[in-house]
A and B are shown apart, each in its own frame.
Chain A
Amino acid sequence: MSIIVNEAGKAISRADQRMPISSLLKANMRKIFPDHWSFMLGEIALYSFIILMLTGVYLTVWFKPSMAEIIYAGSYEPLVGIHMSEAYASTLDISFEVRGGLLIRQIHHWAALFFMAAMIVHMFRIFFTGAFRKPRELNWVIGASMFLIVLLEGFAGYSLPDDLLSGVGVRIVAGIVEAIPVVGTYLMFFIFGGEFPGNDFISRLYTFHVLLMPGILLALIGIHLVLIFYHKHTQYPGAGRTNTNVVGYPLFPVYVAKAGGFFFVVFGVTTLIAALVTINPVWNYGPYVPDQVTAGSQPDWYIGFLDGMLRAMPNWETVIGSYTISWNIFLPGVVMPGILTFALILYPFIEGWITGDEREHHILDRPRNRPVRTGIGAAVIAFYGILVINGANDVIAITFNLSINQLIWFTRIGIFVVPPLVFWATHRFCIGLQRRDREKLLHGYESGEVLRLPHGEFIEIHKPISDEEKAVILAKEAIAPLPAPPETDENGVATPGLRGKRLRARLSRLYFGDDVATPTPAEIAEAEHHAHELHDHEVAELESAGKDVPANLP
């Protein structure tokens, strides 16, 4: 033991004569990180990424990114003698010839799915708690960019084996590229080195998948983490927590052990799942042949919403002279994803403009205290959910004996109707919770214990909530919407940009308007006083009736 510590100490001191290692360690080793289960979501994403890089490097050892056609002569009997690309054949070899190859492939694929899932949930955690507010807007932008890159990265990896299932996905993407007005056909020819499917796509995609995108991701993750260090992590409201402190455990040793241990947990669990649950059995699909397709073909789940959008779109197309605009493909395939991306990246700035809030925030919001934001988030989940369902409408139709026609009409209408309803319901629900918080603060919580007073009345005993809970509730800021702008200033000059300011005031009212006020200290004192009086009154009544005063009477 002492040997390890001594040697490490010596190594550090040697390094320290060449670099300011000790200063770096001193600044960071005992850095405090708050603890909460939801902070592990980003960690899961990070660890999945590391697992992907580790296993991905192994796969590159055997994978051949080539569309050259060969005749399969490997050990998977059902495909012997079949024409296929080298990419597909080498994927079979990894699965059937290399010891542990299948395991590595399956860990890689499962880790990719967990990565996406963890990122999405992480993003919602950031969204619902307002962790993207100043000073963390840039980290939101970086995060949202990574989300999009990982989406593309996942699709690229999924397509590399050149199996029938993924090949159909590539065909669909080629069709979407072709639908881009003016440049689409050229783009398609440049991407594929000519017509679809050509001979170049897999090797080009390979470089993209193993070099370009992971490189960009690595850089972005690096910045993401440095910013988290620099900003210090946010914390949830609670006793002892303020906007100017951070309460938690030190990086060394607690988080080195906890977060380091958690990496092994994520890795171990992913490996166990890869051992037990088959994923992407490409040998069942066969090699890609452009005139074949498997029925009920599904992309990986995170692409499903795009597919759902393509499916729901009415078949609009415009021909102007000798040119065609394929709205049916261009809108759901390019325009909508583009708009969603922009909205996602810009959200912190949009909200910041509406609230006019330029202060630093290190205490997280409770979702109920921002009903509009929470409502938007819930509506987005509903929107996404409907599209995912529609992306699998054929499978659902068969499973539940519905007609695809009905499902598509449900989607077409639902996509406009359900998210607003969800917004409204969530908003109401949040306001309700706020009201309950206020009640709890003023009158305590309903203990469920009932007391019969001598004159026959039943009262439920309210008990005061704990200081911890009070601190959480009181962390809600008192908020007033922006006032409507004056039409003219005091000199009668019209306010510049009146329209924009009006819009902003209106949005601000929407944003904060229905807020339930947090009780003021005076109100709390008043309520406490009142509770005392009531108590005294009850005690007096019980005593005058010659009864015992129960100990649980507050």
Chain B
Amino acid sequence: MSDSQGKDLATVEHGEAPLYPLPPHRPRTTDTDPRAARRAQRQVATQFALSAVLTVGFFVAYWVVPVDQTVELGPFGVWSLSNLLLGLTLGGAILLIGTGAIHWAKKLMSDEEIVDERHPLGSPEEDRAAAKEMFDTGLAESGFAERKIVRRSLIGALLLFPLPFIAFLRDMGPMPGTSLRNTIWKKGTRIVVDVSGQPLRPEDLQVGTLVSASPEGLDEIQEEEGTQNARAKASIILVRMSPDEIRSDQSPEGETWAYEGILAYSKICTHVGCPIALYQRRTHHLLCPCHQSTFDLADSGNVVFGPAARRMPQLPITVDDEGYLVAQSDFTQPVGPSFWERG
């Protein structure tokens, strides 16, 4: 089979005449019984009237109920009374307008199906021809086809003029530079407990515990920069194990990054950057709540499961003269998610 353009057609035409006629209209009770019609009319009007009453109710609730008043609704817990009453009155008022209108349409407006013809969607042939002719005339009058130099210079100008608008975007942000490679940890930065800001001594940590920690002075830096950028990279977790539980860590030959069984790892998941603090003491597994990447802190922070591809970076730590835990240096590799230039 082929269509008008001689193309292959896999299908057969639908007939234009219906095989079966439209079934005759069946009158509703409201069409035949004036009482039913009056009843329907009453129902519709009642809904509209109730809606108006509820709108008045809304204003009562708006002025009478203080915004912070709560109610205890038994097993349903504590509710904002204002929200509840405003919502119920407003929602009811709106809903009743809708149900009233639909009821009106269904019961009282004509429900006789009407048949309309569809007309061909495209333009008629003579319109197409006329349009083409107009276009050709215009084209000839413009000289776009012949005046090569005008045409080419115009195209060139049009191609160039958007570029400044792209250039404007350049200052949306700074170049990355090496900023993803370092954090504010430095040799000798004290490690402090996250919320309290207390510096930590090794004896503050018992075997089996995990503590969220950050570099001392983080709050000041955050204040000064006006961003949380430093925090987003520098947060760490400290875990203490008995030294014989540690199968390996990331210390290179000749260095010791752990201190008496205390290990410091970045808190930022190497997958796409969620902070992690779910620790299973028995297995030494650290579990990311976002996509369940699991890292073995007793084994260099290696990935044991999940979509993360890299182990958690370890922060080399030791204690200072006063016996507080400090960093030996910054992280030796970027923390957080991988990026193209990371290598």
Contact = CB atoms under 8 A, between A and B. Distances in A.
A381 B83 CA distance: 37
B180 interface: yes
B88 A272 contact: yes
A333 B173 CA distance: 23
Interface in B254-299: 267-268, 271-278, 289-293
B315 to A, nearest CB: 14
A106 B226 contact: no
Interface in B190-216: 194, 212, 214
Most central of A103, A290, A295 by chain B CB within 10 Å: A290
B273 A328 contact: no
A359 B173 contact: no
Contacts of B113: 240, 247-249
Contact of B109 (A100, A190, A257): A257
A363 interface: yes
A81 interface: no
Nearest to A505: B8
Interface residues of B, number: 105
Contacts of B290: 168, 172, 293, 297
A349 interface: no
A102 B101 CA distance: 29
A478 interface: yes
B180 A195 contact: yes
A470 interface: yes
B274 A268 contact: no
B305 interface: yes
A243 B12 CA distance: 13
A174 interface: yes
Contacts of A363: 14
B14 A475 contact: yes
Interface string A188-201: 11111111111110
Interface string A513-547: 00000000000000000000000000000000000
B323 to A, nearest CB: 26
A184 B337 CA distance: 12
A197 B172 CA distance: 14
B7 A265 contact: no
A169 to B, nearest CB: 9
A175 B88 CA distance: 42
A63 B102 CA distance: 36
A220 to B, nearest CB: 21
A194 B173 contact: yes
B11 A357 contact: yes
B18 A175 contact: no
Most central of A185, A197, A275 by chain B CB within 10 Å: A275
A182 B267 CA distance: 26
A246 B119 CA distance: 10
Nearest to A408: B292
B337 A322 contact: no
Interface stretch (A113-121, A144-152, A420-428, A480-488): A480-488
A171 B8 contact: no
A499 interface: no
B15 A275 contact: no
B57 interface: no
A239 B310 CA distance: 65
A242 B229 contact: no
B115 interface: yes
Given A99-B82, A245-B117, A297-B290, A315 B97 contact: no
A268 B98 contact: yes
A261 B101 CA distance: 5
Nearest to A512: B10
Contacts of A479: 10-12
Interface in B100-152: 100-102, 104-106, 109-111, 113-118, 121
Contact of A316 (B90, B96, B173, B309): B309
Contacts of B169: 190
Contact of A198 (B83, B88, B229, B275): B229
A103 B87 contact: yes
Interface stretch (B19-27, B29-37, B243-251): B19-27
Contacts of B18: 239-242, 245, 471
Given A103-B90, A329-B272, A470-B20, A267 B3 contact: no
A326 B11 CA distance: 47
Interface in A54-72: 67-69
Contact of B277 (A97, A101, A230, A293): A293
Contact of A358 (B3, B21, B96, B116): B3
B12 to A, nearest CB: 5
Nearest to A101: B67
Interface in B143-195: 169, 172-176, 179-180, 194
Given A185-B176, A394-B289, A324 B96 contact: no
Nearest to A195: B229
A324 B270 CA distance: 13
Interface string A169-184: 0011011101111111
Contact of A291 (B80, B88, B267, B307): B267
Most central of B15, B272, B277, B305 by chain A CB within 10 Å: B272
A311 interface: yes
A249 B211 CA distance: 69
A311 B23 CA distance: 55
Interface in B79-94: 80, 82-84, 86-88, 90-94
A98 B179 CA distance: 42
Nearest to A313: B307
Interface in A344-401: 355-360, 362-363, 393-394
14 contacts: A99-B67, A194-B173, A194-B179, A197-B228, A240-B115, A254-B109, A261-B101, A261-B102, A264-B97, A271-B91, A324-B340, A356-B9, A394-B292, A474-B19
Interface of A: 31-32, 67-69, 75, 96-103, 106, 135, 168, 171-172, 174-176, 178-186, 188-200, 230-232, 239-250, 253-254, 257-258, 260-276, 289-297, 307, 310-317, 319, 321-326, 328-329, 333, 355-360, 362-363, 393-394, 404-405, 408, 467-468, 470-471, 474-475, 477-483, 508, 511-512
Interface of B: 1, 3, 5, 7-23, 62, 67-68, 80, 82-84, 86-88, 90-102, 104-106, 109-111, 113-118, 121, 169, 172-176, 179-180, 194, 212, 214, 226-229, 231-233, 235, 267-268, 271-278, 289-293, 303, 305-310, 336-343
Given A250-B114, A264-B95, A310-B272, 4 more contacts: A102-B80, A106-B87, A242-B16, A408-B306
Which A-B residue pairs are the 3 nearest by beta carbons?
A275-B87, A268-B95, A175-B272
